[in-house]
Amino acid sequence: MNIALTQQQARIEAERCLQCFDAPCEQACPTHIKIPTFISMIRSGNIIGASEVVRTSHALVNVCGKICPEETFCQSVCTRSKQDDPIKIRELHFFATQEEAKRGFVSTLPFPKSKKKVAVIGAGPSGLGCAFELAKLGYQVDVFDKGKQGGVPSKSIPAFRLADKELESDTKFLSKYFSFKKKTINGNAFSQIQKSYNATFLAVGLGKDRPVEIPGEKLKGVLPVLDFLESAKMNPRKMKVGKNVVIIGGGNVSLDAAATAKRLGAESVILIYRRSEKEMLVWKGELEEARKQGVEIRFLTIPVALIGKKSVEGIKCRRTRLGKQKDKSGRAIPIEVKGSDFILEAATVIVAIGQSIAADWLEGFEREKGYIKVDMNFRTSQKGVFAGGDMIAGEGTIVQSVAQGKHAAQAIHEFISGKQR
């Protein structure tokens, strides 16, 4: 998995593409990359042209080329899969952009230059997507972030899935289109920014782990997943896990944590999830990968209490069954099964049940389920402030965040040029 295709492999794969008209893959990609066009270019040997096509629609080409969950988007609707197997679209995309990265970036057109300034707060996928699109439209863009550029891909996506060099290749390409300001934002700084820019795009993401809210959460060895992943990425040598690791979760982040725990030397890694495999909102590729590495998944299981004196020693679980009732996401609601409690040994428990917005200086915004509420044009309840990425809808994919940033930039453009309030 994730070894770049060779030129010959790429050509052979590209030749399988049917070149559908009005292609479903292109519609399914949140950034609407012109997929048949770039594949036709790989076919004809015009690899740099192919990379240009990808970059025209997407700001983080190498990141998404490496880890975009293609089976969720483009490849899920590939017409070819009705005949045999879908085209490996993501891998062809990655092949093209890696070739460009190897040969040197193609210079872009001079973008228009306007005096109008936009602040982008947060240098994650959504912020960078927005900043690049705004630059194309001629705006002077300042991107603020307290850490380095990249957001989630830089902080918590494990290095075995995404190497720094892929992200760096993208941020290096983007660097000349806006100024990056390394700065911690607080309430004062935010109101200062609002005053000095024509518009603001908020893209600070989430970053705060949700507590599991069962007894024993304060025990030593119970780790919030972001803390765990960030430390493991920053300091893989210092990071230690116990012999038996249990992960409470069910999303992609929990799979990342499980695979990371395995790599850090845990003998047994068990992931508990309250519903069944069918309801799990994860990328199949990652699930398979985690299983291959020996991660055990216990479906229909919820945590009841964490056991231990000072440090965690075990976790008390309860079985569930799926009821007929469904929640808003259309998935069956799990019902606890009486008398089914059991205990799993665990020296480390990782809590990966979701995140909320960490930025505590965001005051006065209308919210929905804790996320910042925006309309179809990414407008928040405050005039001139737009928002996108995970902070408006919860954990999403990188490509969705980039797409939101890109669309928000268009809305910001309409706002500044007076076509919208």
List interacting residues with other proteins (CB under 8 A). 6-8, 19, 21, 32, 34, 37, 40-41, 43-46, 48-49, 52-53, 55-57, 106, 108-109, 111, 133, 136-137, 376-377, 393, 403-404, 407, 410-411
Residue closer to other proteins by CB (options 105, 361) is 105
290 is written with which tokens? 């985690």
Residue closer to other proteins by CB (options 308, 388) is 388
In angstroms, give the least distance from the CB of 21 to other proteins: 7
Residue closer to other proteins by CB (options 28, 225) is 28
The packing angle between helices 7-16 and 89-103, to 10°, is 140
State the amino acid at position 43 in one-letter form. Answer: R
For residues 235 and 260, the answer to whether their CB atoms sit within 8 Å is no
Residue closer to other proteins by CB (options 85, 277) is 85
In angstroms, give the least distance from the CB of 53 to other proteins: 8
Residue closer to other proteins by CB (options 9, 231) is 9
In angstroms, give the least distance from the CB of 392 to other proteins: 10
In angstroms, give the least distance from the CB of 408 to other proteins: 9
C-alpha 269/C-alpha 260 separation (Å) is 10
158 is written with which tokens? 């494990």
In angstroms, give the least distance from the CB of 40 to other proteins: 5
Which candidate, 115, 121, 161, places its Cα nearest to that of 139? 115
In angstroms, give the least distance from the CB of 102 to other proteins: 14
φ, ψ for residue 151, nearest 5 deg: 65, -140
In angstroms, give the least distance from the CB of 192 to other proteins: 30
Residue closer to other proteins by CB (options 83, 192) is 83
Residue closer to other proteins by CB (options 34, 161) is 34
Residue closer to other proteins by CB (options 205, 308) is 205
Q: What does R_g of the chain's alpha carbons equal in angstroms? A: 22
In angstroms, give the least distance from the CB of 234 to other proteins: 34
